[in-house]
Every structure is written in structure tokens, then in C-alpha cells.
Amino acid sequence: TQLLEQSPQFLSIQEGENLTVYCNSSSVFSSLQWYRQEPGEGPVLLVTVVTGGEVKKLKRLTFQFGDARKDSSLHITAAQPGDTGLYLCAGGWSNDYKLSFGAGTTVTVRA
Amino acid sequence: NAGVTQTPKFQVLKTGQSMTLQCAQDMNHNSMYWYRQDPGMGLRLIYYSASEGTTDKGEVPNGYNVSRLNKREFSLRLESAAPSQTSVYFCASSEALQWEQYFGPGTRLTVT
């Protein structure tokens, strides 16, 4: 059973459209991270959020940590083909700094 | 800096064979991790090492052993491979008490 549930599992959109990916859990986390993974490569960290209600922006990407620190969302504005990839959320606890990963959302942006 | 390197990149084993996956990092990180990634399952932690000389089980340790050879290197051994161990294996490292993990490029293992 996955501790972190990501939705949707797959997302295909046209270049220029907006998209939102969700990451939900019944557990409370000390931090929530988002990674992007491209085919044949390892995941690369996009952002870490640690405060409930925190919003971080990275160019066209906006990340939000839920008030109760159980969920998060990733919003991409005006998606580009370069945003194509597998987006993984990961929750961590400060007692040991281990991470629990969601199953991921595969995003395809068509030119 | 090469970051995190893994060898081999691809491997095919027959059931019952053994092999060791190698991982090295040049970032002077204290913590190192081994994950497996299966379709629809995300990354699952096999073993981790919080510091040189220590190792601990993760979520799916059965069928695997690890060795933290020194601060740079963390190897994963399959003593008797099974088809259920067909997966992509990732090694990662991080600084002590830091959230960000840096991943290697992965090893794609097929067990027939």
C-alpha cells in the first residue's frame, strides 16, 4: 500500500495549457519534496517544502504544502514540451530523514 | 564532479545467480540509499546507510545485502536472484540531516 497517493497517474496536455498534479496521504510529514525523472535517468529534486501552507514558486512551477502537512500539489503554468517527465512526490520525517515516495504522475506535453 | 555513479547500467541474470551492484559518490555525503523502482510502485527503499559503518533495512530488504565499504561506496548484493527482483535499482546520497537526495542513473536488472 502506497503511503503517498499521486493523481492523476497519467496526464497528456497541449503546449501552453496548465496542469496540476496532486499528492495525498493520511500521514503527517516533516517535509514534502517533488522530484522530476526523465527516461533512463535518476530523479532530480525540484523543491522541498517544510511548513504547512507553504507555497514555493520555481519559474512556471508552483508548489503548495497543505496546512496539515499531509498533502501537496504541483501546478505548471503554460506547460512546455521540456516539462515532460515523471513527477514524484516524497514525504520525509525528521527523526531519520528517510523518504517515502509516491508512485508518480507521468506528464506528457505535446508540441 | 561525477555525482553519484552506478555500475553496471544493464544486467541480465538467470534465477539463482548472484551479483553486486556498485555505487559511488564524490560529494562527501554521509548518507547513502538503495531503492528499487517498479512500474506503478514508485521508489521503494531497500537499505540505507546513515553514516560510514552503519546500515539499516528499509521497506523491502528481503533477498538483498549491502556493504558500506567506505564513505564513498555503498554496494548492493543479490545472493540468489529471483524473477521478482527484476527492476530498476537506484543509488542515492545525501548530506547528514538534509532532505535532498542525489540519485545515480540507475541499473536495469532483468532476472530470467
CB atoms within 10 A of CB A92: 19
Residue A1 has pLDDT above 70, yes or no: no
Please count the residues of chain A: 111
CA distance B110 to B112: 6
With an 8 Å Cβ cutoff, are B41 and A102 in contact? no
pLDDT in tens, chain B (112 residues): 689 999 999 999 999 999 999 999 999 999 999 999 998 888 999 999 999 999 999 999 999 999 998 999 999 999 999 999 999 999 999 998 888 999 999 999 999 9
Nearest C-alpha in B relative to A96:
B97
Give kind and range of the element (H or E) at residue B24: strand B19-25
What pLDDT score was predicted for residue A45?
95
A45 interfaces chain B, CB cutoff of 8 Å:
yes
Asked whether B94 and B31 are in contact (CB, 8 A), the reply is yes
Strand-pairing partners, residue B19, are B78
pLDDT tens track for A6-15:
999 999 999 9
pLDDT digits (tens, 9 = 90+) for A47-68: 999 999 999 999 999 999 999 9
E strand or H helix at B92, and its extent? strand B87-94
How far apart (Å, rounded) are the C-alpha atoms in residues B42 and B39? 7
Q: What percent of chain A has pLDDT over 70?
A: 99
Residue A52 cell numbers, joined: 504547512
Q: Which cell is B57 given?
A: 533495512
For A18, the enclosing helix (H) or strand (E) is none
Residue A3 contacts B where some CB pair is shorter than 8 Å: no
Q: Which amino acid is at B27?
A: M
A15-36 tens-digit pLDDT: 999 999 999 999 999 999 999 9
Contact A40 B43 (CB under 8 A): no
Cα torsion angle, A80, A2, A44, B75, sign: negative
Is A40 in contact with B108 (CB distance < 8 Å)? no
Mean pLDDT in residue range A35-50: 95
Strands A99-101 and A105-110: unpaired
Helix, strand, coil percentages (3-state) for chain B, rounded to 5, are: 5, 55, 45
Rounded to the nearest 10°, the torsion over CA B80, B85, B90, B91 is -30
